[in-house]
Amino acid sequence: MLSIVSTPIGNLGDITLRAVETLKTCDAIVCEDTRVTGQLLKLLNIPRKELISCHGYSNPRKVDDLIRRLDEGRHLVLVSDAGTPGISDPGYALVSRARSEKIPIEVLPGPAAFLAALSASGLPINRFVYLGFLPLKKGRQTLLRSLKEEERTIVFYESVHRIERTLTEIADALKEQPERNIVVARELTKMHEEVITTTIAGLSEIAKSITKKGEFVLIIGAQ
């Protein structure tokens, strides 16, 4: 059995009861960084168990080995460093392979940064499009230009290293829609949680003044 388990995006209290029970009872945990997952187990008082590091899960031999263990009847848990596995994180290769091999899979839903940001945003979220991280080079300008035509709410991730550049580029790409709403959510569920609501017209100012620390989700409102 493969259990796909979401873990907190900052606040340990967001772990679910099912997640704790499953982490306790499984045979091994497939994770990104064994130090991060080891620390999570420690904070949850779960006795240390086998942690299998599997960064991209793209190495077919690694996935073969995990599938073999699952076939032998082992109970493996898939986690990422934070949030939901497979959402801008590894997991896809293992889950899709396990599906095609007809291995029993269960999912234990929980935190995901884009969902937390959407629900806190105050923007219309009955329809939205999730873009993950914007491309760094190839396709970036094309994608930024295409945002003008998107009628649904748009949500994506950005790292601290690029937040100022990305906000400035969005302000430029959407300058013909100055009233369009944009929300910058920072450090959700953590001590310095911040949700800033502005418009495209006010975005250049926010790009300069926002605290350049932590993790960010950006949401552009529907037109």
Task: Give the interface segment with ligand SAM, choosing from 12-20, 42-50, 98-106, 180-188 (CB under 6 A).
Answer: 180-188
Q: Where are the alpha helices (DSSP H) in 125-215?
A: 140-146, 163-173, 203-209
- Looking from the CA of 195 toward its CB, the CA atoms found within 13 Å total 15
Residue 216 touches ligand SAM, criterion: CB under 6 A: yes
Stretch touching ligand SAM by CB under 6 A, among 37-45, 62-70, 136-144, 210-218? 210-218
Nearest to 112 by CA among 82, 92, 139: 82
Report the alpha-carbon distance of residue 117 to residue 185 in Å, rounded: 6
Sign (positive/negative) of CA torsion 192, 193, 198, 204?
A: positive
Under rule CB under 6 A, residue 37 binds ligand SAM:
no
CB of 115 vs ligand SAM, minimal distance in Å: 8
Q: Is the CB of 11 or the CB of 25 nearer to ligand SAM? A: 11
The binder of ligand SAM chosen from 10, 62, 97, 200 (CB under 6 A): 10
Distance of closest approach, residue 187 Cβ to ligand SAM, in angstroms: 5
To the nearest whole angstrom, how small is the minimum distance from the Cβ of residue 64 to ligand SAM?
24
Q: Pairing relation of β-strands 194-199 and 105-108? A: unpaired
Q: For the chain, first and last CA: distance in Å?
A: 44
Q: Give the shortest CB-176-to-ligand SAM separation in angstroms.
A: 27
- Which residues, at least 6 apart from 159, have a Cβ–Cβ distance to it below 8 Å? 133, 215, 216
User: Which amino acid is it at 67?
Assistant: I
- Min dist. Cβ of residue 88 to ligand SAM (A): 4
Within 140-169, which residues bind ligand SAM (CB under 6 A)?
157-159
Of 27, 19, 32, 2, give the one whose Cα is nearest residue 99.
2
71-100 positions binding ligand SAM, by CB under 6 A: 80, 82-84, 87-89
Q: Please report whether residue 32 would count as binding ligand SAM according to CB under 6 A.
A: no
Q: In angstroms, give the least distance from the CB of 155 to ligand SAM.
A: 10
Q: Cβ-count burial of 49 within 10 angstroms (0-12 exposed, 13-18 middle, 19+ buried)? A: middle
Using CB under 6 A as the binding criterion, the count of chain residues that bind ligand SAM stands at: 23
Of the residues 128, 215, 219, 221, which one makes contact with ligand SAM according to CB under 6 A: 215
